[in-house]
Structure formats: C-alpha cells, structure tokens
A and B are shown apart, each in its own frame.
Chain A
C-alpha cells in the first residue's frame, strides 16, 4: 500500500535510495518503507479499509498510525527544527521510548475524570491570594472558565499528539528523518515568504554550518545564511578576518532536499550547491571547490552508508 503520495515533492528524491524500518504493529513488528518519495506499508494492503474499521471503534494499527503521522507532518517546519542536522547528530528514539512517552489522558487540575498528569494552572491564575476567596463566582464567569478549560484540554491533546507524532517519526531512524526533512523543505520552496523564511534560514544554517566547518575549518558560528530566491543556485563568499570572518551563504530551500537530504552536501571536498541531474547511484552536481569560486559540474557516485545515509564520491577522482 502506498501512503503519502498526495504531497507533491517533485523529483528531489531521485538521488536517494529506498530505506526501511520496523514498526511495532499489533503483537509484532512490521516493515515500513520509503521509496521514491512515498511511504509504503507492505503489510497493509487495505489501509482505507483499516481506517474505516478504526473509525467504527476498531484499533488502528501501529503502521497506519506512523503513516498518518508521516502524512500529517509532510509540510511541518517543526520537522526541520527537531530533526538531525548531520549524520553524526544521531537522534536515538526507540519504540520503547515512544510507548513510554505516551501518557494517559491529560487532565487539568480540578477537572473530573481519571487520574492523569496534572498541568499547571493556566492564565488567570485560578489560585487566589489573600485572606478569603470571593464568595461566589458569576455564572457567566463559570461558563467562561469551563469553555477555557475545554479549550486548554483540546490544546493540550493537540500538543500531546504532535509530540507523539514527532517521536514516532524520529523512531523510524536517520534515513527516514532526512527524507522527511527533504519533503518538508520541498513543500515550502515555492512559497518561501516571510512566514516561513526564518524557519528555512535556521534549517539551512543548522545543517550547512557543520558542513562548512568540515569544508573550510570555519567556526559554525561564523556561517551566515540567507535564503536565495530567483534564478541561479545562490552564492557563497568568505569575508573578514579573525573573529570578523564570515562565510556568507545564500541558498534556496530546495538545497535542503536535493543536496543535504540526499547526503551529498560535501562531496569530494566540494560544497555541493545544486543538483543538475538527480539519480541513484549516479548523479551530476554543481559544486564549489572554494568560496567565491565558480561552481563546477561533478559526476558523483553514491553508495549506501551507515544509517541509510548515502555516501557520495566524485567519479574518477
């Protein structure tokens, strides 16, 4: 069953091999697979049927829950804020962790219902100072308080589900994490307005800085990133000296997907700034030998690395 193909992600993934992970499902574990931009559930040929049963009160399978989380967060910029910055930035979240982090119903103090984690009082400070409390609250105030409680409860559950989603997606492992990051970046590359620019700039900065450190030996804090829009691949220049030294980089959001997520950001001592012909295991990229230099075309060849992170070499080098 193919799940998640509704999110358009172009061909950014052509330079990525498929990857697979095991997910707790029912009494055992099932494989889930990422292939050519799609999230696949090989053990669940009739997902739609399962969802109907779940809507009628049946239990949703673990595989389907993860697939739904994948779909829910396919354009969620939080994925870039939480996920890995580089292969050594290993995030180890196991399925035991996901299960342990899944609490019972979140309960607000003073509300009825089964015991659950208590949450600090919200605004308005239910606690009162002073000698005694007001003798009686107005009915309107009580109604407003009830509505606010319900709103807070709903928000808490949303936060809860979002966190559980994130942990589940992280539990899939590095290969899935970078592929989801690529999908998110592509989802925003065409409309990188002021609402998403800060998140994209931070996402590129956080991923480019360690690459630049390896490339030039520059302090990651001296890498200044801006978002490139329009034609061309962007720019990379080195300015200043000593503490004033800065590597000023302007790249498009798509770089995160087409280059970084595919594991080819630093290939053969070159900073890869664009992909001219995507493909696996062979591709052609545009790369810089040094800041300020003209980019050169490189034919690169990929091989499976550890943790589903491809490793690329320049062909003939």
Chain B
C-alpha cells in the first residue's frame, strides 16, 4: 500500500479543484465550485481512509485547509470587489456557515474513519467468544454468546408480545420483541399502543426471577429490545414469561443457531455450495483487492439507490437536482484513480469497467470513470439491474410478517454478525442483524462510502433472485449494534429459504437459512 501516493493524490486533487473557477455553492458532488469540489474530495478521502491508505487526521487537515482555501477565494470571486469590507469571509468561515467547516470537526467526527481491521474468518468460534469493542466489558464469564430464535407469542390481558429472538452476550441478556395492544372498543390490534412492561416478569427453571426492561433499540415502533435483569445464568433451558393477567408462557432457550447446528458440520458440496437450509456457513477466501472491495461496495450503493430514482423521475427532477444517484456516482473516476495511486487497485482490475457498465445501464453520467464498460457483470448485479429495468418486482411481499433467523456468522473483517430476523412491512423488507466489532461512530453520514460498515450483505432467495442490502438504521447497546439492512428489491413472502452472503475484503461467508414467516404485527 502506498500511503504517500494516496495522500499526494488527495492533495493534488485539491490543487486541481482550486484551479477551477470557484463560485458559491452548496457541497454537492454534481455541482461546480467549491461545493462540488469538497464533495469530490470527501468521496476520495473517505475511500482512501476506508482502505487504510490515509489516516483520518491527515484527511481532516487536508479537507479543512481546502475548505478554507476555497472559502477565501470564493468570497473574493463572488461577492463584491476585492478589498471591499464586509462580512464576506466571516460569513463563510464562521463555524457552521460552511457546511463542512467547522467541518474540520464535522468531517472529523463520524464521517472519516477506517473500516475495522481485516481478518480472515473461521478463526473465532462461530457461536461464542464475541469480544466487545474497546471499552466494553468482557463476555459473561464461563459462557459463550447465545443466540436463540424464539418465535413465541405471549398473550396478555390487553394484547400480545411476540418474542423474536433471545441473545445473551457481553452486553447482557435480552429479547427482541414485537407487540400490539387491542383497542378497547373493537378489540382490533392496529397500533402498538403502550407496552405495560413493568407488569411482566420472568422466571427460570432454577427459581431465578427477573424483570424486563425496554431499551432504546428497535426498528419499527412496535419492536423493542427487552433486557432481562438481573443477568440470568448462561445455561438456563427456559424462561417462563409472566404476563399481566396472570398468564404464563414458557420460552425454550435450547433452540440452536441455525447456521451452526450441533454436531460436526459437513463441508458443503461443490455443486450446492450453500447446502441444505440450516447447514454450516461456507467460507471462501476473497480474491479482491481492498480497492476492488470498496468499488464493489459503491456499486451496491448505486444498485440500492437506483430503484428509488428511476430514470424518468430523474429526468423530471433534473431541473432541480440530479439527485442522490448522480451524487453517489460523482467522483467515482477520482476515487478509482486515488485507489490506484495508493496501490490498492490494479490498473488491470476489471471492477472499474464493471462500475462504468453499471452506470451506463442505470443511465448515470458524470462519474468520470475512464475505463471502458465491461461486459461481464456479476450475477447479483445483473439480477438487480433486471429488477430495476422491469420497474416493478415480479412478486411483492404479500403481507407483513417476520421470519426469525438466529444464525451467527463467523467473524469477517473484524465484524461478527448474528442474523436475527427478516421483516416484511409496508412493502419493504429489512434484515435485522446484531453486529459486534463496529465502532459507534461513522454511520449516518450522507457519504459515498459507508465508513461504518465494511461488509456487503447479499440475499439470494429460493426463487433465484438476488437482493442487495443497505444499512438504514443503527441501534447501539454498549458494544453491540442492532443493524437494520434494507433489502433491494423486497423479498417475496413466497421465499422458503434464503442464502445470506456476507462479503468482506478478506473473505465471504454464505449460509442458507429456512424461512418460516410467522408473526405479523
């Protein structure tokens, strides 16, 4: 890796941008002037940081200096005669006045950070020993992490609670639940209402008694995590949930991790790599460079944004703004050149050509990729492009529902994922995963590169369709994060199983999971 080359590229890009006419503008990648320049430099900086070719502190300095350099020139070029007094500079350099300034801070915190350290999977035990992130307490003494697909409905006097999964990790023991309450007049369950959790309790087979507490995590408003207090022993077999009204529902905690069933897992057969549902995960060493992995992630971003902004809509909106699809593609040429300068992307790599072909297929211009469009696009990309060009899915989810998964994947690029559930709701599908190994910053930035999540997660359903995923929600509990991945396109409820493919820089992991569409809120 050529870190000096990476930094030099970013600095020279700044010099090149400063030579262009500067005009006032918002920092959008498609726009001219300093706004577009900053956005392009941000995209390149994020890419270089993500692959580890540039440290965030240096990037902050470069971008902060560029921002100020552009501001003092823009002020002169667009507002009044040079030398005229006024608030020209003050108006653009006061903290917060320029979007990215102070930006040195805004950029600093969150957007620019390296992806987690890369490591080969298969070293750690798939279902145990998840280590918390920095500063976290260790896992419960004497016991491995536990992930249980529960799928039990607990009725109570005013509604019902559906327990989706149970986890017991270093962050504690908790259920993920969905609930609904009945309207007093009709008895119908429409809105989630208020969950009277203080009236619930739990007991284990040894006589241990517990209280349940709602924590902040969740996806839709009717899903929350219920922490179990005090922390139960690692090896309890069941919990009785005592609900308001005196009902007691027994919840078995002996269910196995679907991806790691008991007994020696046999190697997947070559003709059926994912093997049968419930088989052990298949691990393959990835044969992509860090730069190629990053570009593939950017391709996923384009593929997941594209359906929301079809070409005819983009044409209608063109007068206002080219929109996020064009924004996501802007600067790709610079990103590719920067990755080559950093020696993390071979000039002979086929991936830039694939990206060019993808942009052409999506009719996205302004990307700046100089490689000729490639003809050999990966199968998942083709599947999504076919969906995009059909304009509407062949089969939409028929109804809302939830399929519990509770499968733990081996560590991948320093990240441990537990697949929790697939939720269909309002015509969209999300995959809920529990992630360890992420740092609690970096997400949520509207940036070309997701600096927080270095994996791309694909879903291949039993109908043969591929679904890309895009992180849409993050819910932290100490060192763990419940991550909501939005599936594009949505998953049909007719799917009986899915292959979940987690692709990291070092390797990829595939696991086949049966789907049992159960609880519907």
Residues of chain A at the chain B interface (Cβ within 8 Å):
78, 81-82, 85, 89-94, 96-101, 103, 106, 117-120, 122-125, 128-135, 144, 152, 155-156, 159-160, 163, 166-167, 170, 194, 197-199, 201-202, 205-206, 209-210, 220-221
Contact = CB atoms under 8 A, between A and B. Distances in A.
B271 to A, nearest CB: 44
B217 interface: yes
Given A82-B68, A85-B15, A96-B87, 6 more contacts: A85-B19, A101-B90, A130-B224, A156-B102, A156-B105, A198-B8
A243 to B, nearest CB: 11
A170 B95 CA distance: 18
B69 interface: yes
Contacts, number: 168
B248 interface: no
B104 to A, nearest CB: 5
A101 B65 contact: no
Contact of B105 (A128, A132, A155): A155
Contacts of B14: 81, 202
Nearest to B113: A123
A202 B475 contact: no
B72 interface: yes
Q: Which 7 A-B pairs have the closest CB atoms?
A: A100-B90, A123-B441, A97-B89, A202-B11, A81-B65, A206-B15, A198-B7
B102 A130 contact: no
B252 interface: no
A84 to B, nearest CB: 9
26 contacts: A81-B11, A81-B14, A82-B69, A91-B72, A92-B83, A97-B85, A101-B89, A117-B95, A117-B96, A117-B102, A119-B95, A123-B442, A124-B440, A128-B216, A129-B216, A130-B224, A132-B214, A132-B224, A152-B105, A155-B105, A156-B102, A159-B102, A163-B101, A167-B72, A202-B14, A209-B19
Nearest to A159: B104
Contacts of A199: 11
B11 A122 contact: no
A163 B72 CA distance: 11
Nearest to B110: A123
B25 interface: no
Interface residues of B, number: 62
A186 B236 CA distance: 70
A49 B374 CA distance: 71
Interface of B: 3-4, 7-8, 11-12, 14-16, 18-19, 61-62, 64-66, 68-69, 72-73, 75-76, 82-91, 93-96, 101-102, 104-106, 108-110, 135, 213-218, 221, 224, 440-444, 473-476
Contacts of B135: 144
Given A81-B11, A92-B76, A119 B224 contact: no
Given A99-B90, A131-B216, A198-B7, A82 B72 contact: yes
B473 A163 contact: no
B109 A167 contact: no
A94 B216 contact: no
Contacts of A197: 4, 8
Contacts of B73: 89, 91
Contacts of A125: 110, 440-441, 443-444, 474, 476
Contacts of A85: 15, 18-19
Nearest to B192: A131
Contact of A132 (B19, B216, B474, B476): B216
B96 A119 contact: yes
B71 to A, nearest CB: 9
Nearest to B225: A130
A206 B18 contact: yes
